[in-house]
């Protein structure tokens, strides 16, 4: 009986992983094409029973996780190991393989939905706790994943020994940042009913907090 339960679990896991091949590009397209609508969708789905949530897309945290993994695979193929993995001195010794680096990057990019969800909650004049944070966090993951993909691809392009790709990477960083902050501000206006200046200030503040934390982590680890 235990053997058949194991087979059943493997069967379900394999099916779930294979559906990601279909639902990941669908989720990415919706998040890029209609970011605010996709974030609304996330908020609505969380009102359903767990078994009925996100039936037509990847769940937001899984979407962000898969995005970081895909970006990491592209980096490995294009430029090889990150300097963080190669550097074995000091705190960098804690990140000594691709698995630990992926975990670190997931945590880094997850800062964006956490910070933005906290700011959204405060702008909505709600007390920040696990309950009030969950729905905006899930919605923010749909916005953060394409941004994480753009930044990761740009970082890879900058490391390639090609001037055109490096310039393109820098332009992509600037464009992705402007779009992310702009869409974030629009979402804050929609979700919190605050005026544009306050929403934009909250968006920029959240972005700067995340960038400073990630920059500090990168400096401590001696990576790129």
Count how many Cα atoms sit within 13 Å of the Cα of residue 163 in the half-sphere of its side chain: 0
Binning pLDDT at 50, 70 and 90, where does residue 213 land?
very high
Q: What is the CA radius of gyration of the chain?
A: 19
For 13-63, what is each residue's pLDDT tens digit?
788 888 889 999 999 999 999 999 999 999 999 999 988 899 999 999 999
| Position 89 pLDDT exceeds 60 | no
| Range 180-207 average pLDDT | 96
Number of domains in the chain: 1
pLDDT: which is higher, 3 or 120: 120
pLDDT tens, position by position, 125-164: 999 999 999 999 999 999 999 999 999 999 999 988 888 8
Q: Which domain holds residue 83?
A: 2-221
Tokens 């963080």 belong to residue? 84
Answer whether 0.85 is exceeded by the pTM.
yes
DSSP 93: G
Which positions ≥6 away from 192 have C-beta within 8 Å?
Answer: 120, 123, 124, 199
């Amino acid at each position: 009986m235990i053997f058949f339960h194991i087979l059943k679990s493997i069967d379900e896991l394999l099916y779930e992983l294979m559906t990601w091949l279909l639902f990941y590009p669908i989720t990415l397209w919706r998040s890029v094409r209609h970011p605010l609508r996709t974030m609304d969708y996330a908020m609505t789905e969380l009102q359903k029973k767990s078994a009925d949530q996100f039936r037509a897309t990847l769940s937001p945290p899984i979407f962000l996780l898969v995005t970081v993994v895909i970006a990491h695979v592209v980096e490995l193929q294009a430029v090889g190991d990150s300097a963080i993995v190669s550097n074995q001195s000091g705190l960098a010794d804690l990140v000594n393989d691709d698995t630990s680096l992926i975990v670190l990057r997931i945590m880094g990019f997850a800062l964006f939905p956490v910070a933005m969800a906290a700011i959204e909650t405060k702008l909505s004049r709600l007390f920040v706790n696990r309950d009030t944070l969950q729905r905006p966090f899930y919605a923010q993951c749909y916005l953060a994943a394409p941004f994480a993909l753009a930044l990761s691809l740009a970082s890879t392009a900058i490391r390639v020994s090609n001037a055109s790709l490096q310039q393109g990477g820098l332009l992509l960083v600037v464009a992705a940042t402007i779009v992310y902050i702009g869409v974030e501000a629009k979402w804050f206006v929609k979700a919190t009913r605050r005026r544009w200046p306050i929403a934009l200030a909250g968006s920029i503040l959240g972005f700067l907090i995340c960038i400073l934390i990630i920059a500090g982590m990168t400096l401590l680890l001696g990576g790129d």
